[in-house]
Structure 1
């Protein structure tokens, strides 16, 4: 394939990639607009599995809520704000993103991670060592059961949590929290435990709905944990881990005291900061959005841009890469080359000289154009004035005045001296169009006066 066609194809692809996410919302399709709002735990989903009521609750408390559709690296633009990661469905978290998240929390940001089947575990594995927290907690990925009768013969997947530790004030006013298909947290130090299940609860480690000890675990299980980095001497931010994101959903937020504890958690993470300068940012980028949805496509692109621009190693390379791409790929007019007699005839007498003049003036290389015109002027003066020993300034001035006494010697010498300096590059080659035209017309008047 010719190189020009390859360039054209590359430009078309880049054009489509850049503009497609902006045009996609205009399409009247469910893929583009409607599907993302039905996604589990989306703050714009009004159905039972969404978190719209939670968003409205945060708004009523005076918090500005912003969705994050791209990269966690964008948190660097909102220091001391609060980030909520509720029910993530995409298990992969870019390490560069996580490093930005760790910096965000270390410098005073709040972070909520609510998960029930371990999708957020890859985030914890990276985040806690980056923060210097010695023990990394884990989501167990198995369902927590509670008895529904005193005989322990019936069990429910919607346990009621009534055991709250006294070390964190966001449990004040909360007597019970209702979970639904919850997992648990392990490897949480006692001082970081906020809420646990009852003594008779059990964790179905082999997922067979029957108590088998081992591997099943019986007894209190941690369902909420909290970390105050300032108390731990590791920074200024705060982290809350919840083993069931459904307490924030529209179906569950009004049950038991779920709304109260959800609001209290946000208040504790925010640390008294509110308003447009300290928004509550909800991560929608790691929800199970369709790959063809507008939000996912836009998020892919912006995620890459934010990640690349926030990476201290890559950010300085992009201006250089952009300049190289423009220099390498943008079309440029080919520099003129000498023409054969046949080519001159086919171009209706268009000569190499005229092609070079067009090329110089088109790219505003007026100094080069003056050099070219001066060479032609000297040849014409040698022929018109009969300078047998060739061109010299003194000989040309004397012969020109002798042939046409009306020529002013000072102006003629000034023209020759200027052209000589430009030719020898003792004068800056750059000049504007008006300066070039003045020199050009002086040369034309000189030739007309000696003919």
Structure 2
């Protein structure tokens, strides 16, 4: 018996291999993202490790593609994360976020230089704001002055077990009535003209970089650098411990990507499918039709392969028939010997048997 792989031609094998590679590439591209702070971005600037950390904290992780889904989760058991949104929240969207916080939810807003988060904080009734100027520390920093290390030793539960935070091109927070959670050293300053030097108009002093404020029954945590939560920064001093403490204090982590273009195409399609029953039915019917078509195509291909290929023994040669053989008897003999054959193949072999019988008569 010839092994199945020997029946496959090299061109066909190459086409199958290329199709497989293309399918894997498309699947990977459809399930991953390259957007900064993206929950499905596994590169240095993504937040996939933050999502994994939330999963390991015995808490449910939910991606919110729309602010309407805030209402689907108990606020007093949930913490929502907003990392550097790309667009401003509309008044109606901000109302939903505010309702979540005022009913007992915790909201983390992390930003450095863009104005959208300040607009959100104002809309939900919080007083804390982001300064927007680049923070540098010439002495207490990680790899460079733009990586200032902040002291996070406070008595607040959100910094329990956290000694410090490491920023990456962050900005101070302006706490207002909020409680400060982390502060830079006395050697930090705001590089307002971005020249990389401490000028006469720039003064070294301590700056708060994280604060928590009560809004209604909930909390708003403002962090002056969304980068502390990205993959490349989570392992810097204190960052993972801070994220773990925040996430571990709640049963559900809501990652708000409603204003962040960070969802891969297949994940976005999954969200769309979940929220559209009619679309689910349509896709289901389409899959049934595709499977049915492939099954029929496979059956036709199998029947085609079972035709008498070059070099295949002719079953009709073994038929014990002679001149004047009865067609029904010949067909019964074929079916008895080959019960796995379909009716079409039985008919073809029977035709050959009868042809041999007629040839025998002619020879006589």
Question: Normalising by structure 1, what TM-score?
Answer: 0.50
* Deviation at residue 56 of structure 1 after TM alignment: 1.6
Name the structure 2 match of 1:172.
Answer: 160
Change (3 A) 1:302 1:85: farther
Structure 2 gap ranges (5+): 1-22, 277-364
* Deviation at residue 183 of structure 1 after TM alignment: 1.2
After TM superposition, the structure 1 = structure 2 runs for residues 13-162 of structure 1, keeping only pairs within 5 Å, are 33-34=29-30, 37-69=33-65, 71-80=66-75, 81-88=78-85, 90-118=86-114, 119-128=116-125, 133=126, 136-148=127-139, 156-162=145-151
Q: Which of 186, 210, 213 is the aligned partner of 1:227?
A: 213
Task: For 1:242 and 1:30, locate their aligned partners in 2 and report how far apart those are by CA, in whole Å.
Answer: 36
Name the structure 2 match of 1:204.
Answer: 191
Structure 1 gap ranges (5+): 1-26, 230-234, 306-451
* Deviation at residue 282 of structure 1 after TM alignment: 0.2
* Deviation at residue 96 of structure 1 after TM alignment: 0.1
Give CA deviations for 1:261-294 in whole Å, capped at 9, x if unaligned: 11112234x2xxx2xxxx311012222449x956
Change (3 A) 1:172 1:54: same
Structure 2 SS opposite 1:73: helix
After TM superposition, the structure 1 = structure 2 runs for residues 174-323 of structure 1, keeping only pairs within 5 Å, are 174-189=162-177, 192-214=179-201, 216-229=202-215, 235-268=216-249, 270=250, 274=251, 279-289=252-262
CA contact (8 A) 2:39 2:48 kept: yes
Q: Kindly name which structure, 1 or 2, has the bigger radius of gyration based on alpha carbons.
A: 1
Task: For 1:39 and 1:51, locate their aligned partners in 2 and report how far apart those are by CA, in whole Å.
Answer: 10
Aligned residues: 250
Structure 1 SS opposite 2:255: strand
CA contact (8 A) 1:32 1:294 kept: no
CA contact (8 A) 2:140 2:185 kept: no
Task: For 1:138 and 1:302, locate their aligned partners in 2 and report how far apart those are by CA, in whole Å.
Answer: 36
* Deviation at residue 243 of structure 1 after TM alignment: 0.7
Give CA deviations for 1:16-63 in whole Å, capped at 9, x if unaligned: xxxxxxxxxxx9986994485221112221111111222221111101
CA contact (8 A) 1:32 1:293 kept: no
Structure 1 SS opposite 2:33: helix
Task: For 2:64 and 2:113, locate their aligned partners in 1 and report how far apart those are by CA, in whole Å.
Answer: 22
CA contact (8 A) 1:68 1:285 kept: yes
Task: For 2:214 and 2:92, locate their aligned partners in 1 and report how far apart those are by CA, in whole Å.
Answer: 23
Give CA deviations for 1:170-207 in whole Å, capped at 9, x if unaligned: 22222222111111112433x51111111110011222
Structure 2 SS opposite 1:48: coil
* Deviation at residue 209 of structure 1 after TM alignment: 2.1
RMSD: 3.2
After TM superposition, the structure 1 = structure 2 runs for residues 338-349 of structure 1, keeping only pairs within 5 Å, are none
Change (3 A) 1:73 1:158: same
